[in-house]
Amino acid sequence: MGIAAGDLNDGQGLAFLGAGVSAPLYPLWGQVISALIDAADRLTEDEARTCRGLAASDPDAVVEIVRERMGDGEYRETLRKIFTPRKDPVTQRTWTAAHELVARCNFAGVITTNYDPGVVNARMAVRTHASATGFASWDDEDLLVRWRQGTVFSGDDPLPVLFAHGHHNRPESIVLATTEYRRAYRGMLGAVLSQLLDTRRAVWIGFSFTDQRIQAILREIGDRSTTAATSRPAARHVAILAWDPASDQDPGTIRSILEISLGCRVVLYPAPGQDHRALGALLAELTDPRHPPASTPQPVPDRDGEAGPVQQWVHGVERALHFTGRAEELARLNRWAHDPEVRLVGGRPGVGRARPRWSPSG
């Protein structure tokens, strides 16, 4: 396979997650652009058709055009709807099997270019001492300092998560269009990622070998990082990438090209028709036995005898020097309050209470 379990379970690697980890529960890159084009009713038929045709080769530029036509307000609201938390119809979980498997590997932390809450929710389900606030976005400068210095990995909160391109609950932070890439990487994000790639092992998971997001990231941080593309791969970095067998391209040749262009060892897994189940089978062999699978929540009957799913929200022990910045927790409470399937939300004494914005309905 070209990769040993120790590459993932030595506690030093950083999982760098792409859209394949969130599929099929959350939309892939192409589906996001398609949904944005569908929502942009100010585009003419010819303009929409042209944008679809160019989406694969110039995705961030296409999104820039769509955003300009929609306006910032409509664009952000559309993004919020596209990335709203979703439940698996069978498991009722808001994370995928791949999310959970990543959380079960002994990584030092997770960096994701996705926007959905799947990896954070899986992290809390697998690592019961993890807090709901153990994540940062590219525009959280105070938290990025901890990532750059490495102190985020030595804290009491296990498996910290960095949303490198923004978070679904803050659509103004989502990085999709050209100007948004420039804004994000001209700030602290580029310096943080280059520092991490220079000092840690990156394990790229869930990207396609044709995914331009890896190339965009390496391009943005290349001038600062010593791990920019070289003639031979950097031995410590690993890329686990999707490959479509129907593409009629030799996987060995693809692997060699990617190892040179990405500067890392490459493992290709088959993803026919964007089916990423093989990724789960691969990760399942590499999980750390100290992190068992998440338990299945048991439904709790309400006063009418009907059972609804239990949403487990574990808030770790954490000193709050300033009781601010609880936007994610408030948003989570509001989502649960509006979800007809959620009948009870509870918390341990001392976690702190917040009043979500809803009106009781009898």
Specify whether the CB–CB gap between 262 and 218 falls below 8 A. Answer: yes
Render pLDDT for 279-301 as a digit per residue (tens, 0 to 9): 888 888 888 888 899 876 555 45
Task: Kindly report, residue by residue over 62-98, the tens digit of the pLDDT.
Answer: 999 999 999 988 998 898 888 888 999 988 899 999 9
198 three-class SS = helix
User: Cα separation of 174 and 132, whole Å?
Assistant: 20
The residue with tokens 């394949």 is: 20
pLDDT of 133 reads 78
Q: Which of 95, 28, 86, 26 is nearest to 335 (CA)?
A: 86
pLDDT of residue 222: 61
- Burial (CB < 10 A; 0-12, 13-18, 19+), residue 17, is buried
Local confidence band at 244 (pLDDT 50, 70, 90 cut-offs): confident
For the chain, percent of residues with pLDDT exceeding 90: 30
- Whether the pLDDT of residue 16 is over 90: the answer is yes
Read off the tokens for 307: 């059972």
DSSP per residue over 151-185, as a string?
GGGGSSS-S-EEETT--TT-GGG---SHHHHHHHH
- With 70 as the cut, is the pLDDT of residue 338 above it? no
Most confident stretch, 38-42, 176-180, 264-268, 323-327: 38-42
Task: Tell me how long the chain is.
Answer: 362
Question: Angle at Cα 100 formed by Cα 95 and Cα 101, nearest 5°?
Answer: 145
- pLDDT tens column, 197-223: 888 888 999 887 777 777 777 777 765
Q: Which residue has the tokens 């110039």?
A: 58
Tokens of 220: 């943005």
* Sequence spans of domains, the chain: 6-24+88-284, 29-82, 300-362
Mean pLDDT of the chain: 79
Considering only 129-138, 191-200, 299-308, 312-321, which range has the smallest mean pLDDT? 312-321
100's tokens:
């959970």
pLDDT reading at 342 higher than 70: no
Query: DSSP code of 4?
Result: -
Q: What is the 3-state secondary structure (H, E, C) of 262-278?
A: HCCEEEEEECHHHCCHH
Confidence band for 28, pLDDT divided at 50, 70 and 90: confident
Burial class of residue 258 (count of CB atoms within 10 Å of its CB; 0-12, 13-18, 19+): buried
What is the per-residue pLDDT for 35?
A: 93
Please give the CATH number for the structural domain made up of 6-24+88-284: 3.40.50
pLDDT (mean) for 252-263: 83
